[in-house]
Amino acid sequence: MITAELQKSWARSLLEAAPSSPAPWLEALQRKAGEAIEQLPPVNRKQEAWRYTNVEPLLKERFQPVVSRPAGYEGEVPEAITPHRLVFVDGWFMPQLSDVALLPQEVTAGSLAEAIAAGDERVKNRLGSVAEPDAHLFTAINTALVNDGLFLHLPAGVKLESPIELFWLNSTDGETPRLAQPRNLVILEPGAEAVLLEHHLPGQGGHYLHNAVSEIVLDPGARLAHYRIQDESEQAWHFSRAALDQGSDSSYHGITLAFGGRLSRTEYETRFTAEGASCTLRGLYTVGDDKLQDFHLDVRHDVPHCSSREQFKGLLYGKGRAVFDGRILVARDAQKSDAELTNDNLLLTRNAEVDTKPQLEIYADDVKASHGTTVGQLEPEQIFYLRARGVPQQRAVHLLCEGFAAEIIEHITVEPLRDQALARLRKTLSQLD
């Protein structure tokens, strides 16, 4: 079991590589995170949020944080489906591989490190304001080692016609496993609209730790569609946390598709700060071969007249494991809240396992809320129906699984990305034969 001393010793070994901070305000934020690391409880099964997620093997490994921009990248960069492409290697922005020339001049899309070095007040005022550094060990480490990542800013009223596409790639350095520490800050001012596409890919790397934290600020009336495809190496550890701060009448539409990783943990934290905001979170995870997919949601209705929808589905095969822990909290003064949460899982083998825990905490008396979960297998009658019409056994299984997952994928509004997602799903299903 992970002890406090093991956790602190592991974290301290990472912090030894931290360079000096370029700004006093950032140094103060990093120092606060370092102090939190010393006080945080161990991420073991005694903690409810980590009861079903064993990270002890991770804390026995030694990773080398990438604390400066790589000189280059020799791997292949996937072809973009939009005119706006930003490429990151080991968490660092690579301008020579990116293309943002067609973005409106008033839009900022690029390196967080460069914005910090330039003394950008927007970064100074917002970074660390949404994702608290003491949330848990991995957020604290990310904050203590803040270096680079995405900084995206849209001024008031700017509406992008084409999506912005991000590629997160990893390099390799012999036998030394690397730690990528991207910290992302997305700010949409009042009335701004954008679509953000993310691809998390192994690149050249096989064995690495990707530990990302994203802070997303949506001012009144802002709208963001955010699609993520996580397809990391089978030897990789992937941690991703998205913390949202939504103003009045803002809208966030997020979809995460999780296919890869040895252990992948995805977290959403949504905070409504004014009335009229809406948040939709959807996800699909496929997992087998002794891997683990882990999703955690924390949606807080602290003000009246906000709505949230959460829908997540899992396809499990082999000895795959999944964890789903979703919570919706409706505060005492959050009247007229509207919230729904569902988690459905399809077990394709007897050895697959899922631990699912949807939760509602309601302290207001005039709300509309529901939650539910299902865990089941393919119905023999459905397979028989298809086989009776000449469909082979494996093809019948593929069609039923694809139909189950399509309910999530079909909500991706960018057609080329939706096609990529379906192709990736079919690749996984073909491995079941």
| pTM over the 0.95 mark | yes
**Strand pairing partners for 342?**
311, 372
Q: What are phi and psi of 67, to 5 degrees?
A: -100, 5
Burial of 312 (0-12, 13-18, 19+ CB in 10 A): buried
Q: HSE-up of 49 (CA within 13 Å, CB side)?
A: 16
To the nearest 10°, the Cα dihedral for 136, 39, 16, 214? 20
User: Tokens 């997303």, residue?
Assistant: 216
| Residue-level pLDDT at 244 | 98
* 54 touches 136 (CB < 8 A): no
d(C-alpha 205, C-alpha 71), whole Å: 16
* 272 touches 246 (CB < 8 A): yes
Q: State the sign of the Cα–Cα–Cα–Cα dihedral 144, 149, 155, 157.
A: negative
**Which residues, given as ranges, of the chain have pLDDT below 70?**
173-174
**pLDDT tens, residue by residue, 70-85:** 999 989 999 999 999 9
| Residue-level pLDDT at 176 | 81
305: its two tokens:
């007249």
CA dist 265 → 65, 99, 240, 365, 406 (Å): 19, 30, 6, 34, 22
Q: State the sign of the Cα–Cα–Cα–Cα dihedral 184, 57, 199, 314.
A: negative
Residue among 165, 230, 228 at smallest CA distance from 194 = 165
158: its two tokens:
């700017």
d(C-alpha 247, C-alpha 277), whole Å: 6
d(C-alpha 117, C-alpha 94), whole Å: 16
| Residue-level pLDDT at 174 | 67
User: Tokens 């829908």, residue?
Assistant: 311
* Residues in CB range of 163: below 8 A, 6 or more apart: 82, 84, 194, 195, 196, 197, 225, 414
| 3-class SS letters over the chain | CCCHHHHHHHHHHHHCCCCCCCCHHHHHHHHHHHHHHHHCCCCCCCCHHHCCCCCHHHHCCCCEECCCCCCCCCCCCCCCCCCEEEEEECCEECHHHCECCCCCCCCEEEEHHHHHHCCCHHHHHHCCCCCCCCCCHHHHHHHHCCCCCEEEEECCCCECCCCEEEEEECCCECCECEEECCEEEEEECCCCEEEEEEEECCCCCCCEEEEEEEEEEECCCCEEEEEEEECCCCCCEEEEEEEEEECCCCEEEEEEEECCCCEEEEEEEEEECCCCCEEEEEEEEEECCCCEEEEEEEEEECCCCCEEEEEEEEEECCCCEEEEEEEEEECCCCCCCEEEEEEEEEECCCCCEEEEEEEEEECCCCCEEEEEEEEECCCHHHHHHHHCCCCCHHHHHHHHHHHHHHHHHCCCCCHHHHHHHHHHHHHHHHCCC
**Strand pairing partners for 313?**
284, 344
d(C-alpha 406, C-alpha 423), whole Å: 12
